[in-house]
Amino acid sequence: MTPRRAPATPTPTRPAPVADLHERVLTWYDAHARDLPWRAPGCSPWGVLVSEVMLQQTPVARVLPRWEAWLARWPAPGDLAAEPPGEAVRMWDRLGYPRRALRLHAAAVAIRDEHGGRVPDDHARLLALPGVGTYTAAAVASFAFGQRHAVVDTNVRRVHARAVTGAAEPAAALTAAENRLAVELLPEDEGTAARWAVAVMELGALVCTARAPRCDACPLLDRCAWVLAGRPAHTGPVRRGQAWAGTDRQVRGKLLAVLRESAGPVEAAVLAGCWADAAQRERCLDGLVADGLVEPLDDGRFTLPRS
């Protein structure tokens, strides 16, 4: 007797609400996405990597001219790797958090020496590059290579918090539950997942903003859990903007500005003119040296790092 064939296992499908979420956000993105050079079809993976590092804690408007200048000077990782790290710090100019420039230089050296000068397309190898963390590795794998990864930045977290969980704001720090939700919301198709990753990010940047969200312009308005709950207020800790005037960050920036603008090493007396408070100035200069952003010379002068 011929055994009866077991019925085929049905192919799992996405729940309709999630499929609807994808369709709405992707349709909105197709109509409203900003025309940014690192999203252009011809942008290299190196260009994507540079953009992702620059965009960390820095607005697009400030990044655009610096990204264009950076890629004009160093169109490939090997071009940057051939220069001393101090040139990366100089080129970084006033983008802020200049250690990112050193990380990009270190990543360029690793790409040249370990990957034949090509940004690796494997997520694990991206994650192993100096200065490349979980977010950046996922972003480059997704945006440069069209792979399926959960790309979770502040904008994405805010959209997920409001549209799906009904909270006004995400937690102060990324949680395991947020990561799980981001993975669960990924479309199954690899290419669609890559588009979804950037589309949700764009929705958070342009519409579902931290302050004064433009709910009336949101494609998820009638299904947003936060809106349906009556837009409850945030009950967690209040996030305050970082001060600038008089802080060590300001002093460090002034010291680096002098070194960037100098064609060679700078006398200590010149740096002393940057800030009246000698104790704070010396503390900040010591911190820059410890961070590898400034190199002290034997003759008492200072320079951007040479190696």
The rounded distance, in Å, linking the Cα atoms of 103 and 170 is: 28
The rounded distance, in Å, linking the Cα atoms of 157 and 180 is: 12
Q: Which residue has the tokens 């109509």?
A: 31
Of 63, 57, 65, 228, give the one whose Cα is nearest residue 135. Answer: 57
The rounded distance, in Å, linking the Cα atoms of 168 and 240 is: 16
Is 202 catalytic? The answer is no
Q: Which residue has the tokens 């589309």?
A: 199
Amino acid at 183: V
> Which one is catalytic: 23, 52, 83, 202?
52
Name the helix (H) or strand (E) containing 283.
Answer: helix 278-290
The rounded distance, in Å, linking the Cα atoms of 22 and 27 is: 8
Is residue 45 a contact partner of residue 144, using CB atoms and an 8 Å limit?
yes
Q: Which residue has the tokens 């764009």?
A: 202
**What positions carry a catalytic annotation?**
52
